[in-house]
Structure 1
Amino acid sequence: MAVYVQGSVPKDSNGFGVDFAFAKYQGPDIPFHFNPRFSWWNKVVLNSFESGRWRKEEKRKMPFRKGEHFKVIFMVTEAGYQILVNRKKFYVFRHRIPPQSVRFIKVFGNLELQSLNVTAEPMIGNLIMTSPEIYHLALPYDQTVLGGLHPGMTIYMNGTVPEESDSFSVDFACCQHRRADIPLHFNPRLFQETLVLNTYQSHRWGKEEKLQNPFQKGEHFEIIFIVNEAEYQILVNGNPFCNYSHRFPPQGVQLIRVDGDVDLQSLNVTGGPKMGNTIMTSPAIYHPPVPYTGDIPGGLGAERTITVRGSIPKNAKRFEINFMAGQEIPLHINLRMKPWRAVVRNSFLNGIWGNEERNLTFNPFQPGLYFKLSIHCDNHEFKFYANDQPFFNYTHRYVPIKHIRTLEIDGDVTLSYIKY
């Protein structure tokens, strides 16, 4: 579902708010409080009110201007409220209270409200889906690691460094407590142009290891931490960056925490034996070359999902994804950026191409942007999700899907990882 709010901010406004509330009167819980404040901070404050108390505030840079019109869209997703301001991605406020409990939308403060609409389904189309979804996970963000880290496991994270960033950190910690041991502390310090690595053990920091900072303000990044027997192997933006020898067994790591001045978009932990040159793990393959040809482990089957992450170069024209069964192509996807944007789907069976499918609700693929494409297979069709939004379905034209054993990707694309 989605909530659309339109209005204007008076020139003398000191702020306004939108509350997603349990009830109309004061006192009950407010799962989501959205509050642009022009006075004092000139920031947007996001929070929840639960059991008579406000929880921890999340603050973001102010996107509104006094004296100007605005449109805000709140899209309810599984993860949280995805917020767009004037057609631009703003933030995702993760659910602290289930959204099913919201009964009222309350607007208050110094604004001129023109409309408020609640729709049963988000209006995607060209209005708000002209670029990929960018999820900004609320910080500090904690990712639980069940059973600890072991050699062959990999941690993948990506995001953007804000222009005003001073530093951020990634801590591999032994538990959620703030004084817990930290086997690996990864701390880019942009104000010093250095990156510090260290270990916190028995309430004391060890000796710092300092390196040249590889991150740039205003730019996207990807980090891969590979757990080896003797060390963490760290890659930044696809390039080997450094190794950090274990001072503390990685099996003790139960939590990965990201905090500081960073827009975190994703963090994934994958496990499996080492393959090849150690930057590949099963079931994920990191930074594979293009063209890529890979065997689908065990062949394709019902209820199987394959995820592809990557970016499209600024001068890109097209790239394609093929699901192969020998010489047959049960599914061919041709993603075209130039001379016009289109996503063409087809099958090449018995030596001939079938009828093309082109209709789309939206098309997030365009040069210069990152993407996440998830392909889910069931007994009847392929279901595609672009940046976690339903993209299109493709009915099977080749019935024995278990014979589909190869994935091919070629063209103008840079691959971050493929997860089988």
Structure 2
Amino acid sequence: MKSLLRNSLITVSFLLFLPVAASAVELELPRAGTGPSAPGSIPSPPSDISAASYVLKDFESGVALAERDPSARREPASLTKLMTAYVVFGEIRDGRLSLEEEVTISERAWRTGMEGASRMFIEVGEEVRVEDLLRGMIIQSGNDASTALAERVAGSQGAFVDMMNNQARRLGMRDSYFANPHGLPEEESQYTTAADMATLARALIREFPDLYNLYSERSFEYAGIEQNNRNLLLWRDAGFDGLKTGWTSAAGYNLVSSADRNDRRLVAVVMGIDAPDHSTGGTRRANESQALVNWGMRFTETRQLFGAGEALGMPRVYKGSEQEAPVGLAEDFWVVIPPGEGDDLSASMEIDHPLEAPLREGARVGRVVATLDGEAVHEQPLVVLQEIETGGFVRRGWDSAALWVQSVWPF
């Protein structure tokens, strides 16, 4: 009788530690008030966009709402000046440069863009404030101002270009390379992508909100010459407040723009628009950017369901120093849905197989899936959030037996 009781207890204890077959676990979602509803599905982006490459991104999340060849490498032209501004803004923020400081204009800066390209019309030997040079570069697209700023910050154009490319790598702009601070054609290839330009635009707006205001100014006068900002959207729509135009014969017509409406900001990048003349090209890039932003604002909503590093569950761990491991996401989990549909979302966590130690932090063990009306709308890997080391001899032996039983007797 004692032997039977002992064997029964052992069997019951053993079964308690058997792994459960992988299955989906429903997750609790944050609920928020819904706004006006849109159609039950998101329509396609505007079909009349002629840009060779484009991307429309939600500013807060970085989620792409619409895109065409966003990673295709193209010549940046004057979009290069966004990176020039980013580097200069960083110098101002860190106290190595001030807006009031005066810069002596070199002959090289004066000569940059002499043959018909955009200029601020600064003169050799002139003392010009950094703030004026920034306006000359941002509003007037002055190539001379870009060179003057680069020389002041780094001592030479070449050293400044190194700073530009270092910042591009730091921001994750893997498909961008800059050869000068202004974007005029060089013998050395220079390139970027719509996706990388959107990354840079988001960084500019997020990190330098005060200096970013320069991009919303419509005109700037220097040396008695007033020049208008070539971003036509600043005149059309009060929601648009930046950023930069660009053109060369090889690049086509480019525009990086951003609009803030009803506490939501979008960033649009269009590149490689063809046009017979500057007037037509300037209008087309503005029209297409505005169309993308209007579409995104009208037909999409982004919602964060879970945060990076947030523990979504504590599944059983076998052969480990701990019996459970926190699992979650390496990056924030955002979904794109029609406006007003957020409360119809559901999400589940799926673990592919029983977890066995050792487990490294960041190891993929399953997925998190969000669904709307029964259809998956987004999926991200489920990862281990804490390293779990191998357990002791007894734990490993016991759990090995449990896993073996599960393999031959699943339930």
TM-score, structure 2 normalization: 0.22
Determine which structure has greater relative contact order: mean sequence separation of CA pairs < 8 Å that are 6+ residues apart, divided by chain length.
2
TM-score w.r.t. length of structure 1: 0.21
